[in-house]
Amino acid sequence: MKTINRAIIIDGYNDEPAGLGVPPYLDIYARYTAGAIWTYDKSIEINYFTIDEVREKYSKIIKKANKAELVIIIAGMVVPGKYLGGKPIKPREVLQIAKTLTKPIKILGGPAAKFGFGIEGGKRTASIKEIEEEIDIIVKGDLEIVVYNLLREGLEESKINPMEKRENAHQIREFAIRGAKIVKDHPNYGFNLICEIETYRGCPRFITGCCSFCAEIFHGLPDFRPVKDIVDEIEALYKYGVRNFRLGRQPDIYSYMAHGVGEKEFPK
């Protein structure tokens, strides 16, 4: 059984119909994943870098990453757009980073791992075979759950299921709270950082097929996070200095805890 002392998270950004993670926004992936690591062992050192920081200090950050046991890359633009706060990671950059890292276990998470890379709006995402050959674990399930299981199994890749998902929304409560501290590593911290808050995932319109451009259909019917879990997460983020929040991590905020979910296309 291997032990882990350091993990590196490289945030290549994400943009989904129900979630935004391009600066100044910080989405759930890095926070939940950091929380999963710290839930397993709070003494593990985690370094978070955006892809823009990696571009700026490539040699220095890659050298540091090669000394870690685990490197997690987050990527995926389901609905690509134009951004002022950052430039999303490109497939060739993921490939370059993966080839350069020789020592750590390399994990790809986020929409790119699940659906492929979205390059241009209105076009299908594409999987990149070269990347799949260089990355050790492509997470088709929930990144935080897979990472947590990998740690529990002593970094033995053969013992985990990359497609494993959370059992329910409450399962990620501790991950969301404990991962709040990672905001201090974000380049927008103390300035205009906005944390995306998840209230639920899945869509009430699942019973009729959902929208053609949206990925929420893959989560089925809504799985609501308990109000207390959401409030406690925001409290933790506030404690670490975050002052801006967006209740944007759901397809329709008006459907949160609505009556008739699973029975009506438009619950009330």
Q: What is the pLDDT of residue 14?
A: 96
Tokens 């929420």 sit at which residue?
216
CATH architecture, domain 6-169: 3-Layer(aba) Sandwich (3.40)
* CB neighbour class for 191 (10 Å; exposed up to 12, middle 13-18, buried from 19): exposed
Note the pTM of the prediction, 2 decimals: 0.94
pLDDT at 123: 54
Distance of CA 252 to the CA centre of its chain: 20
* 3-state secondary structure (DSSP) of residue 37: helix
Instruction: Give me the count of residues in the chain.
Output: 268
pLDDT of residue 237: 99
Interatomic CA distance for residues 4 and 148, integer angstroms = 12
Q: How many CB atoms lie within 10 A of CB 227?
A: 11
pLDDT of residue 124: 56
Give the SS3 label for residue 78: coil
Q: Which residues of the chain have pLDDT under 70?
A: 118-127
Q: Which alpha helices (DSSP H) does the chain contain, by range?
A: 28-40, 51-56, 58-65, 91-100, 111-115, 129-134, 143-152, 173-178, 227-239
Per-residue pLDDT at 218: 81
pLDDT of residue 247: 96
Residue carrying structure tokens 């740690």: 151
